[in-house]
Amino acid sequence: MQKDKEDRSQDACAHHHLAIRDTMELLSGKWKIRIIGSLSFGPKRFMELKGYIDGIAAKMLSKELQDLETNGLVNRTVLQTKPITVEYKLTPYGYSLQPVIDAISDWGMQHRNKMIAHLKKA
Amino acid sequence: MQKDKEDRSQDACAHHHLAIRDTMELLSGKWKIRIIGSLSFGPKRFMELKGYIDGIAAKMLSKELQDLETNGLVNRTVLQTKPITVEYKLTPYGYSLQPVIDAISDWGMQHRNKMIAHLKKA
DNA sequence: TTAACTGGTTTCCTTTAGTAAACCCATTAC
DNA sequence: GTAATGGGTTTACTAAAGGAAACCAGTTAA
């Protein structure tokens, strides 16, 4: 049984959808992508992250970091400093999201430039 | 006043954050990225979209499409067929999100393959 | 005239997301 | 002893997202 062109294209399309759905499930919510974006510049401590991600409450940050850890994207290490500090960093799997983060960031920059250009014209 | 290396890196980082925040604001919620993903294969009618995006309720689809239209990412056209049909398609601006959608989709496929490989081992 | 189809909207309800503020524990500094 | 710092958790609450089902309007086929 040979599939025709339309079948193949619909298959590709269906896989595409499933892949998008899967990714977005892991990255669901308002904060996860921003957290990963912050960590993509290197490890950060809890309070440091809270400072970077303006508007996030400690509770949310804590919960989202736990989610990300559960999904193997982020690693949590308690450092025996005094007072103790906790370092969060991306796992290699977390780093594999870099192309996604970059694409989002790039688009945001273009978007921003467009807005600025629009304002200058007016 | 010359900025040192650390300043510049923090600037880049800050811009990165803002860009990510801006993008994610436009694409907020559970469905927008999936809708754009569906439309990236070409224009679709309302019921057609609803069929593609499994689990979405008419109310949500309607609302999300309105949001996307307001933000200039999607175009809505009423076709004078009988019964009337409504066609949704990406604007050029909407299409400019293709790299984001593709990055997400690609990662999802890798993720899925990883899961499958994991299952086979066990 | 009754039903079906497209493209919704409305209502009611539940779940999840999100917030602020208080609290907790260990440590070290004053 | 009292405050400050780091890294949280708990409580109590509000706002927003989301879902199921009913409903509606125009058209057309049986």
Per-residue pLDDT tens digits for A51-60: 989 889 999 9
> What is the pLDDT at residue A82?
78
Report pLDDT for A1.
47
Going by the DSSP 8-state scheme, the letter that residue A56 receives in this structure is: -
Asked if the structure places residue A14 within a domain, the reply is no
pLDDT exceeds cutoff 70 at B4 = no
Interface residue of B111, B114, B116, B118 to substitute, partner A, most A CBs within 10 Å:
B111
Q: Is the CB of B71 under 7 A from strand C?
A: no
Across residues B2-7, what is the average pLDDT?
53
Q: What is the pLDDT of residues B71-85, one digit of tens each?
A: 999 999 999 888 889
Residue A57 within a domain: yes
How many contacts does A have with B, using Cβ atoms within 8 A?
A: 115
Q: Is residue A6 part of a domain?
A: no
Above 80 in pLDDT, residue A97?
A: yes
What CATH number does residue A40 fall under? 1.10.10.10
- B39/B27 Cα distance (integer angstroms): 14
Partner residue facing B100 (CB), from A21, A97, A103? A103
What's the structural domain count of chain A?
Answer: 1
The whole domain housing B101 covers: 30-121
Q: What is the mean pLDDT of residues A1-27?
A: 76
Query: Predicted confidence band at B13 (pLDDT cuts at 50, 70, 90)?
Result: confident
d(CA A84, CA A78): 7
* Digit-coded pLDDT (tens) for B17-61: 999 999 999 999 999 999 999 999 999 999 999 999 989 999 999
> Which nt has its C1' nearest the CA of A30?
C17
Per DSSP, A85 falls in state E
The predicted structure's pLDDT at residue A5: 54
Mean pLDDT of A65-78: 95
Domain assignment of residue B21, yes or no: no
Say whether the CB atom of A45 is under 7 angstroms from strand D: yes
Which residue do the tokens 């370092």 mark? A87
Residue B110 covered by a domain: yes
Identify whether B80 is part of a domain.
yes
**Alpha-carbon distance A118 to A19, whole Å?**
35
- Hey, is A78 helix, strand or coil? strand
Q: Is A110 part of a structural domain of the chain?
A: yes
Q: Kindly list the residues of chain A whose beta carbon comes within 8 Å of any beta carbon in chain B.
A: 9, 13, 15-24, 26, 28, 30, 33-34, 37-38, 41, 52-53, 96-97, 99-112
pLDDT band of residue A3 (cuts 50, 70, 90) is low
Q: Is the pLDDT of residue A24 over 50?
A: yes
Q: How confident is the model at residue B121 (pLDDT cuts 50, 70, 90)?
A: confident
Residue of chain B with shortest Cα separation from A49 = B17
Comparing every residue's Cα with the C1' atom of nucleotide C20, the nearest one is A57
B100 in any annotated domain:
yes
pLDDT at res. B30:
92
Question: What are the residues facing A78 on neighbouring strands?
Answer: A86
Among B51, B33, B52, B46, residue whose Cα is nearest residue B100:
B33
Q: Which residues contact A13 (CB under 8 A, 6 or more apart)?
A: B41, B52
Residues of A in contact with B103 (CB under 8 A): 99-100, 102-104
CB A24 within 7 Å, strand D? no
Whether the CB-CB separation of B37 and A16 falls below 8 Å is answered with: yes
Contact (CB, 8 A) for B21 and B71: no
The whole-number pLDDT of residue B20 equals 94
